[in-house]
A and B are shown apart, each in its own frame.
Chain A
Amino acid sequence: MFLLNYTLYLADNALLLGHRNSEWCGHGPVLEQDIAITNISLDLIGQARNFYQYAALLKNDGSTEDTFAYTRDIREFKNCLLTELPNGDWGQTILRQFLFSNYQYLLYEQLQHGHDQQLAAIAAKALKEVTYHLRWSSEWVIRLGDGTEESHRRMEQAIAEIWSYTGELFIPASYELEANANGIAPDLKTLEVSWLQKVNEIFTAASLSAFAKATADKVYMHKGGKQGNHTEYMGYILAELQFMQRAYPGAEW
């Protein structure tokens, strides 16, 4: 059971962030970056499909990748709150992508050597793409943070806006603890140290100070997504994502 839940956790993170990023399609600040964010979206939804397909195999009750994505209710989704937050401005989207890609990179790096063969294969495959996401988003955090007065102000504002949603990434749910005990998933405490190091490195290069303030203040961290307790934004996402399958069950195109 923990393996199914852990697989769904990985899938839901990828699906939700992929969906959020896809909202930029046709609205990006410049064409090349519109294409970049939607490419990242495609990679993430591809990852979600691989994880859901594996989850369907594990569950073995007729569930498919589609039923997981389109017919589960809000409380069954295990994604971190960070992935479901609204996009905000371009700076906030970039920042969220950096914070999450940094997490995903470190996570998959370990997962690919874990004891579950299929999760390891999906992670090894996706890691190549996540490397691009992390490099791209890191460069943009630096460019915007160290850019104009306005871009700098907006990046500081974005950190203030979403930093309190990052703590959850490293607070293990029961299925993560079990996956770790079984040699499948990494220990989140160790992961957090490397993650913070990278954040510090990039924020320093970007002349962003809000991070230092946020950690010094020990801001309150929101949590609950991993257990299915979501923000008020989640219902709206599912309404859009699931409408077709709910209105016309089994519809194909």
Chain B
Amino acid sequence: MAQGGSKLTAEFNEKAKASLGKFTRRQVMELDTCAHCGLCTDNCPAYNESKDPLHAPGVRSAMAVKLYDRKYNFLTRLFGNTEITVKDVEELSESAYHCTLCGRCMESCPFGFQTHELWTRVREIVADLDGTPVNVGRLAGMLEENMNPYGLDPDERLDWVDYTDLDEVPEKEEAEVAYFVGCTTAFKGANHEVAFSIASILDEVGEDWTVLGEEEWCCGNPSLLSGDEHTAKEYAEHNVKELERRGVKKVITGCAGCYRVFRFEYPKLLGREPNFETLHSVEYLRDVLVSGKLKLEATDEKVIYHDPCELSRLSGVISAPREALKYLTNNPLEFEEKGIDVRCCGGGGLLQAVNNDMRLDIVSRRLEEAVEKGADILVSACPACKLAFTDGVRERGFEIEVLDLLELAARQLGVF
């Protein structure tokens, strides 16, 4: 990309026009309606840490519509500046990636703008205009080579089995249930126990289940979050083909990101609904606890539940983890900001790749509150949240145990 605030070439500006033209009908209406009132900013975790106007969602909306108008508003085209500069792209990128894509702004905006999709579209435009941050760009290379965003060999996908007390996991050609592990659970040591817990519970209930092993590819979420719909589509096609080939009726995942993508993005990417139902592990846990298929004794420890944004606000799964928690502890606690109004832990939106300090600042707020409430254990239901919390505990010196809800259940089951 050229330097400074200089104008870019005519060819680049044509590309910019085509890219800005990707804003859908509803999104253009949203950008036109945005009153730049800043009400969404009050609750934005990223802005509240940096206080940088570029990180405010309402400012991002103003930036986006200004660029759009340069190419699509006839009055601007007649009388105003229509060029898009390097500085414009840099600022848009800075804004778009200092965002956890938590969707809190969506629940704060009086007009109900679907900001998660809007900001993802902005990232797509940033990618088209070569403005993706370097660290995020690296993910694409690793994904292309290894089908996971950590650049690890696909045959390490089941390494978590070796690191746990599990003898083996089934890799069947046909099964009723598939456990879609997800990259952040499979490749990040802090989450291996989560996979172990889910596998143990599936065994305990006696499910006919399988994993995809090396045939499991990234769900496509990191690609979508970095504006690469093409790669996400390729992964969606592969994963759905592998799952349908095995005649799977139910896919269970413990990752809020995988879950959201399977439920809401795959139908869009594939143009059809997959032939299976997708459940998050907390929904499955709730079901087996309520039906009595799994019997556990509740602990007296004080347990506070953090809603993963992608599971609660963005996927509407709010009551299931709470219903499950009733079976796991006699002392459940709640954060002030919870459910659809949950405050993000900072672990989403690829923020770690761009500004890890901000991620830790965001997670510290949540940890502070959990400690103030007197919680012994902080549970969540997403490997990215668990990573953020464990990093926060380690880096910022909090004293609280961090677990996934399924780990808490497996612990009560006595598997570790």
Q: Do A and B come from one complex?
A: no
A residues with CB within 8 A of B: none
Binding site for A on B (CB under 8 A): none
